[in-house]
Amino acid sequence: MKNLRGLFLAFLIFSLCISDFPQAQDQQGFINLDCGLQAKESPYTEPVTKLTFTSDSDFIKTGKSGKIQNVPGIDYIKPYTVLRYFPDGVRNCYTLSVKQGTNYLIVAMFTYGNYDNLNIHPKFDLYLGPNIWTTVDLQRKVNGARAEIIHIPRSTSLQICLVKTGTTTPVISALEIRPLRNGTYIPQSGSLKNLFRVYLTNSKDIIRYPEDVHDRLWTPFFIPEWKLLRASFLVNISDNEYDIPENVLVTAATPANVSSPLTITWNVETPDDLVYAYLYVTEIQSLKDNETREFNITAGPNVSYGPISPEESELYNLFNRSPVKCEGVTCHLKLIRTPSSTLPPLLNGIEVFTSVEFPQSESNTNDVVAIKNIETNYGLSRVSWQGDPCVPQQLLWDGLTCEYTNMSTPPRILSLDLSSSEITGIIVPEIQNLTQLQKLDLSNNNLTGGVPEFLAKMKSLLVINLSGNNLSGSVPQALLDKNLIIVSNYLCMILGPSQSQPSIETKKRRFTYAEVLAMTNNTERVLGKGGFGMVYHGYINGTEEVAVKILSPSSAQGYKEFKTEVDLLLRVYHTNLVILVGYCDEKDHLALIYQYMANGDLKNHLSGNTIMSWVERLNIVVDAAQGLEYLHIGCKPLIIHRDVKSSNILLDDQLQAKLADFGLSRSFPVGGETHVSTVVAGTPGYLDPEYYQTNRLSEKSDVYSFGVVLLEMITNKPVINHTREKPHIAEWVKFMLTRGDISNIMDPKLQGVYDSGSAWKALELAMTCVNPSSLERPNMSHVVHELKDCLISENKRTGGGKDTTRSLDINLSFGTDTKPEAR
C-alpha cells in the first residue's frame, strides 16, 4: 500500500463503543499556537477550520520571528506566513500548562519556506521534556513535516523542546494540543507516535476539525484493487467511544475481487519498531436476507482475530493491546472473508502508531519549582535555562550539577552556581527549597542584606561562597555551628561548635631549612616514610606538634608531587583533609609541615594490637568519605585524589580521619568534562581498572579506591594476597559472598560485635564502589549518606544516640591575605 508507513497488531480487541463521555465542546482544552506570530496580531480565526490561533510569544522565552515564502501542498493546515527560528542556544523549549494524567494529541508543524533566503533546510531533534520524541528532517521533507504523538503528561507542565544537533537552525511553524477521551489510545507502555491515519475513499477531502472534534487529521486513501462502498442509509452511530467523524464512516473499501482479501501494506523505520493499529468498521450497506459479511483479520503468521460480522449503526473499534513487530520493516494486514460469508470484508478507516518510550524521569518536581522561582526572583535570562534543569545530562543547565541515580528516579539538584550573574537583592528564601543542595555559589554579585539563618537548616549543604557581595552583618551562629565551608570576602573556613580545643596557626608560612631542622631537632624522631621521603616529628613554637615530610634527593617524582601538594593544600580546607601548616622550598631542600596525627595511618592501625570497634571504623570511613566528597563537590574545579588508600588516611588522637598525600592529585579542566586523559598513577590494588585500561580519569576512580579501603576496613585483609584463590580483595569478597555468610568476611577481631544490617549495608556499598564500570559506581555524596545510615544502625544497637557526625577538634583561623581559589 503506497504512502503508508509503519504496522500493526499482536491480537485485536473487539469492542462495541459505549459512550460514557460527553462530546468534546468547541475547542475546549485546545492549544493552537501560530509560532512566530506577533502578539499584536493575535488571536485570529483560521478560515478553513475556524480554529482560534494565538501567538506563541507567551509560551517561550527565546527565538525570533521569520517570514516564510510560499510552500505548496500545505494549504489544508493553515495559512502559513511566519515561523519561529532559534539561532541561539542548543535547546529552546515551549512550556505549556496541561492536566496531569490526561491523554493529549500533540501536533507540531515544521516548514522552512526559505525564510532566511539561504536555501539551507534544517535538521534537528524534537524532545518531550527530557526525552527525545523524533528527529525533524526538513532536508528530506522539503515541503514541511508534521510530528504527531498521543501522550499522557507526568506533571501539569508540558515542555516541548527543539534541540540543535548540527549546524542548521531549528524552526517551528505551529504547535497544537488537543485533549482526548481518557481511556482511549492506551498503549502497553510509552506513548503513541503517529504513522498514518486514513479513511478509505476516492475523495480528495482531508477531514479535521470541526468534523473531527479532536482535530485528528484524516487523509483519504484508495487503490485500484479496491471497490468503493458508500453508505446506502444515514449512518447514525449512537455509541462512538473514539469520536470517529461521520464522514470517515460513510465510505469503505472492499476488495474488487470478492474472493480476495483486503490487504494493507506499509513500512516501519526499523525492524524493532513496536506497532499499534486501530481499525474502524461499521456496516454501511443494507444486506439482503441471504447476504452475510464475516471476515477474519491477520497480521503475519502468528497474529489473527475473528470472525467479525459488522452491523449497521454499530462501530467496531479493533485494536491490539500489546504491540507487535513486523517481519523486517514491511507490515501486512489482511481482512479475509470466511467460507460462510457471501460478501467480502470491508474497512472504513485505520490509524497506525509506533510505540515511543520516554524512560528518563523529569527532575524532582520540588527542585524544578524552586530553581524556577529563583530564576524569576533574580530576573535571570540564561539561554540554557530551558527545559528540564538536569536531564538529559548533555543539556544540563549552566551552573547546576545534579545527582543521577537511575533513569526512573527523578534527578536532584546538588549544586547551584550563580557567581558573576549580576544578581541583586537579598539571598532569596526559595534557595532552601533545594533540599539536596550541597554547594551554593553566590559570589561576585551585588547581593545585600544579611546572611539568612535558613542556610543552617539545609541539611545537605557543604559549601557556601558569598564573596564579592555587599552583604552586611555577621554570619548566624547556627550556620557557624555546622560543618560547613563558608567563603566570604576575607574568610574561608570550617567552623565547629567546640571553642575550647587548642588551635593550630594555619596562616600559610614558608619556612627556611634551618627552621625545619630546628623544629625536628635535627630530624631526631622518625615517624615513618612518606610518598617521597622520610617523615619526622617536630614542634612549632615549642608546643604545637607537627609532622615534617622531607623530600629525599633521590626521589625522581618528588619535586613534582611536592609542588602539587603545596599548591592544593594551600587552597583547600576541610576538617577531613590533613592540614598543611607550612612548607620549605629552599634550593635542594623541600619539606612539608603537617598537623600531627597521633594515631598514624589507618593501615597500620588496623594491623596493630589495638582492636577498633565497628562504630570506630564506621566513623573513620565516614570522615574519609567526607574529605573525598569535599574534593569532588566542594572544589571548583573538582579535585581527584588519585591515591586513596588506607595508608593515606591519617588518624588523630581522637581517631578522627583525614585524607593525606595529595602529590598525585589532579584538578579537572573547566568546561564540564566528565573525565580527563592522563598518564596512569596510583597504587596497585587500589587503582581503578577502568582508569588503568583507558587512561580516562574521573572522580569515580577515587570512588573505586575508596571501595577498596572500605573492604580493608571491613575484612582487615591484605588488598593483594597471591596465596588466596582470588588474590584481589574485591574478587575474594565477591567469591565469599556466593556463600551468603558475612561472618567469614568480617574482621575476626570484631568477634561478631556489630549490627549485621549495618555490616551488610557497608559491604554492599563497598562492592558497588568497586564495580568495574565507573558508570555503575555511586558518587561520594551517596557513599557518605549510606555510611551515615550504617552508623545510625550501629548506634541504635549500642544505644550510642543518633549523632553520627563528630564535632571539629580544631578551629582554623586564616589571615586576610588568604584568597582561596579551589572553589
- Asked if the bond preceding 359 is cis, omega within 30° of 0, the reply is no
> What pLDDT score does 32 carry?
95
Alpha helices in 609-728 (DSSP H): 614-629, 689-694, 699-715
Q: Calculate what percentage of the chain has a pLDDT beyond 70.
A: 86
Residue 814 pLDDT greater than 90, yes or no: no
Please write the tens of the pLDDT for every residue from 117-144. Answer: 999 999 999 999 999 999 999 999 998 9
Q: Please tell me the least confidently modeled range out of 140-149, 664-673, 690-699, 742-751.
A: 664-673
Give me the sheet containing 262-267, strands edge to edge.
262-267, 330-337, 295-298, 304-308
Please write the tens of the pLDDT for every residue from 45-90. Answer: 998 889 999 999 999 999 999 999 876 555 434 556 899 999 999 9
The DSSP secondary-structure symbol of 777 reads S
Residue 37 pLDDT greater than 50, yes or no: yes
CA 227 to CA 436: how far, in whole Å?
66
Chain length of the chain: 823
Give whole-number Cα distances, 793 to 711, 787, 796, in Å.
19, 10, 5
Q: Share the mean pLDDT of the chain.
A: 85
Alpha helices in 451-507 (DSSP H): 477-480
Instruction: Transcribe 298-357 into DSSP letters.
Output: ESSTT-EEEEE---TT--EEEEESS-B--BTTEEEEEEEE-TT-SB---B-EEEEEEEE-
Class of residue 271 by CB neighbours under 10 A (exposed 0-12, middle 13-18, buried 19+): exposed
Q: Please tell me the least confidently modeled range out of 358-362, 391-395, 470-474, 522-526.
A: 470-474
| Confidence band, pLDDT 50/70/90 cuts, at residue 8 | very low
Residue 41 pLDDT greater than 90, yes or no: yes
| Confidence band, pLDDT 50/70/90 cuts, at residue 578 | confident
Please write the tens of the pLDDT for every residue from 427-477. Answer: 999 999 999 999 999 988 999 999 999 999 999 998 888 878 888 877 787
The verdict on whether residue 64 carries a ligand-binding annotation is no
> What pLDDT score does 821 carry?
30
> What pLDDT score does 573 carry?
67
> What pLDDT score does 700 carry?
94
> What pLDDT score does 484 carry?
65
- Averaged pLDDT for residues 477-504: 49
| Confidence band, pLDDT 50/70/90 cuts, at residue 679 | low
Please write the tens of the pLDDT for every residue from 708-717. Answer: 999 999 999 9
Provide the annotated active-site residues: 643
Please write the tens of the pLDDT for every residue from 151-199. Answer: 999 899 999 999 999 999 999 999 999 999 989 999 999 999 999 999 9
Q: Calculate what percentage of the chain has a pLDDT beyond 90.
A: 64
pTM tops 0.85? no
The DSSP secondary-structure symbol of 489 reads T
Class of residue 240 by CB neighbours under 10 A (exposed 0-12, middle 13-18, buried 19+): buried
| Confidence band, pLDDT 50/70/90 cuts, at residue 630 | confident
> What pLDDT score does 1 carry?
39
Q: How far apart are the first and last CA of the chain?
A: 63
Strands annotated E in 489-571: 491-494, 509-510, 526-529, 533-540, 544-551
Strands annotated E in 239-285: 251-255, 262-267, 275-281
Element housing 519 (H / E): helix 513-519
CA 724 to CA 731: how far, in whole Å?
10
| Confidence band, pLDDT 50/70/90 cuts, at residue 327 | confident
Q: Is 145 in contact with 90 (CB distance < 8 Å)?
A: no
- Averaged pLDDT for residues 317-346: 94
Please write the tens of the pLDDT for every residue from 95-110. Answer: 999 999 999 999 999 9
| Confidence band, pLDDT 50/70/90 cuts, at residue 498 | very low
CA 363 to CA 400: how far, in whole Å?
12
| Confidence band, pLDDT 50/70/90 cuts, at residue 349 | very high
> What pLDDT score does 531 carry?
59
| Confidence band, pLDDT 50/70/90 cuts, at residue 213 | very high
Residue 543 pLDDT greater than 50, yes or no: yes
Cell reading at 434: 533545594
- Averaged pLDDT for residues 108-119: 94
Domains and CATH numbers, the chain: 31-180 (2.60.120.430), 223-356 (2.60.120), 365-489 (3.80.10.10), 509-798 (1.10.510.10)
Q: Please tell me the least confidently modeled range out of 2-6, 299-303, 753-757, 772-776.
A: 2-6
Please write the tens of the pLDDT for every residue from 403-414. Answer: 998 899 999 999
CA 103 to CA 497: how far, in whole Å?
55
> What pLDDT score does 263 carry?
96
